[in-house]
């Protein structure tokens, strides 16, 4: 299968916000968007998006994972960027309709249909740096994707960055492209210098997240991750893993912790990144102050694998969904 996120279904669903109201969504062939060169998004980064998946089960039907939670998060992102807020029922139905239109394109698990709702400000006004866009376009792309890691989840190498932050405090929990752009430079520099996969941003020693995933420490009986605040993204995979961990008997500790504590614990604790694309990916090595530091034995650990399997069993239809996370299409 082609690289993750590079293949798209032939159609998408799109809606426009004009004259103070959302217009009726329509399913159309995927094609370039018509944007005025002065569109607000091109100059002032008024954009947000979501990323989640639909799975096709053996009965031929699709299940969308945590649809309504992603819709709610997108509404919060839109509000934080002063964009027109999509109606929750409208956006959810847009996703359901485009998934239903492409059920035959969804590969069998562990592959899936990746869903990318996107909202952009389209007001043609380059003088609106301090004003919101009161015109917008909302659309949902669909992309058949394979397992994020070819041949299984290999242990990742992370650089610990104890000075720079991934985002600003007020926008860290907003899923906006600007946050990913801000992390790109430090991540590429770290890859070039140290051969790492990602940067773990820990401004002032406060362990937060990487450029594209939340971070967890996992032992045989405890999961530790940063408590929710506005400085980092509130991941749905993170939330799902924590719920399942508690049910499996782990102590769930959502709290602040430092780089020093992290380095003290990795002799016995596993480290992992959580996110939609990779689910729960093991971390085998850190680079800190020029030194490589191994997490336990450097290999994927049993606890991250146990939690990943528990989550994927629900997504793939091999375990009951007792939380109402799945929307059938």
Query: For the chain, what percent of residues have pLDDT higher than 70?
Result: 98
pLDDT digits (tens, 9 = 90+) for 35-87: 999 999 999 999 999 999 999 999 999 999 999 999 999 999 999 999 999 99
Question: Which CATH architecture does the domain made up of 156-315 adopt?
Answer: Alpha-Beta Barrel (3.20)
- Which of 73-87, 125-139, 175-189, 212-226 is predicted with the least confidence, judged by mean pLDDT? 175-189
Beta bridge partners of 49: 118
Confidence check: pLDDT of 106 > 80: yes
Confidence check: pLDDT of 14 > 70: yes
**SS3 of 205, please?**
helix
In this structure, whether the domain defined by 11-145 belongs to CATH 3.30.470.10 is answered with: yes
Work out whether strand 156-161 and strand 112-121 pair parallel, antiparallel, or are unpaired: unpaired
Question: What is the rounded CA–CA span in Å between residue 29 and residue 25?
Answer: 13
Q: Which of 202, 199, 163, 204 is nearest to 184 (CA)?
A: 199
- DSSP secondary structure, 305-318, as one string: HHHHHHHHHHHTTS
φ, ψ of residue 298 in degrees (nearest 5): 85, 0
pLDDT bracket for residue 278 (50, 70, 90)? confident
Are 11 and 29 spatial neighbours (Cβ–Cβ below 8 Å)? yes
pLDDT bracket for residue 166 (50, 70, 90)? confident
Residues for the chain: how many in total?
A: 329
Average pLDDT value for residue range 196-210 = 94
DSSP state of 287: E
- Which of 126-130, 144-148, 260-264 is predicted with the least confidence, judged by mean pLDDT? 144-148
Confidence check: pLDDT of 243 > 70: yes
- DSSP secondary structure, 58-118, as one string: TTS-EEEETHHHHHHHHHHHHHHTTPPPPPHHHHHHHHHHHHHHTGGGPPPTT-EEEEEEE
Domain ranges in the chain are 11-145, 156-315
- Report pLDDT for 1: 57
For 75, 76, 85, 228, the CA distances from 79, given in Å and listed in that order, are: 6, 5, 6, 18
- Report pLDDT for 153: 67
Work out whether strand 112-121 and strand 47-49 pair parallel, antiparallel, or are unpaired: antiparallel
Average pLDDT value for residue range 312-317 = 96
pLDDT bracket for residue 165 (50, 70, 90)? confident
- Report pLDDT for 168: 79
- Report pLDDT for 143: 96
């Amino acid at each position: 299968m082609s690289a993750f996120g590079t293949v798209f279904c032939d159609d998408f669903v799109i809606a426009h916000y004009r004259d103070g109201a959302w217009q009726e969504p329509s399913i159309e062939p995927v094609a370039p968007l018509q944007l005025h060169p002065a569109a607000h998004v091109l100059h002032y980064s008024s954009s947000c998006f979501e990323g989640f998946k639909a799975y096709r089960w053996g009965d031929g039907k699709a299940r969308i994972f945590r649809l309504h939670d992603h819709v709610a998060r997108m509404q919060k992102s839109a509000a934080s960027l002063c964009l027109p807020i999509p109606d929750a029922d409208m956006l959810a139905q847009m996703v359901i309709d485009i998934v239903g239109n492409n059920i035959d394109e969804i590969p069998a698990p562990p592959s899936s249909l990746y869903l990318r709702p996107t909202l952009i400000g389209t007001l043609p006004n380059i003088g609106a740096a301090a004003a919101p866009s009161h015109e917008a376009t909302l659309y949902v792309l669909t992309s058949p994707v394979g397992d994020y890691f070819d041949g299984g989840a290999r242990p990742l190498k992370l650089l610990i960055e104890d000075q720079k932050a991934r985002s600003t405090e007020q926008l860290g929990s907003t899923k906006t492209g600007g946050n990913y752009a801000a992390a790109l430079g430090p991540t590429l520099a770290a890859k070039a210098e140290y051969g790492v996969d990602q940067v773990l941003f820990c401004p002032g020693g406060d362990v937060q997240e990487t450029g594209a995933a939340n971070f967890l420490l996992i032992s045989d009986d405890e999961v530790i991750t940063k408590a929710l605040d506005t400085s980092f993204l509130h991941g749905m995979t993170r939330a799902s893993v924590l719920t399942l961990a508690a049910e499996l008997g782990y102590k769930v500790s959502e709290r602040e912790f430092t780089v020093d504590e992290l380095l003290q614990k990795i002799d016995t604790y596993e480290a992992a990144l959580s996110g939609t694309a990779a689910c729960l990916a093991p971390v085998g090595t850190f680079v800190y102050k020029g030194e490589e530091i191994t997490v336990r034995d450097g290999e994927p650990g049993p606890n991250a694998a146990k939690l990943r399997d528990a989550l994927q069993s629900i997504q793939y239809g091999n375990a009951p969904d007792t939380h109402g996370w799945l929307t059938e299409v």
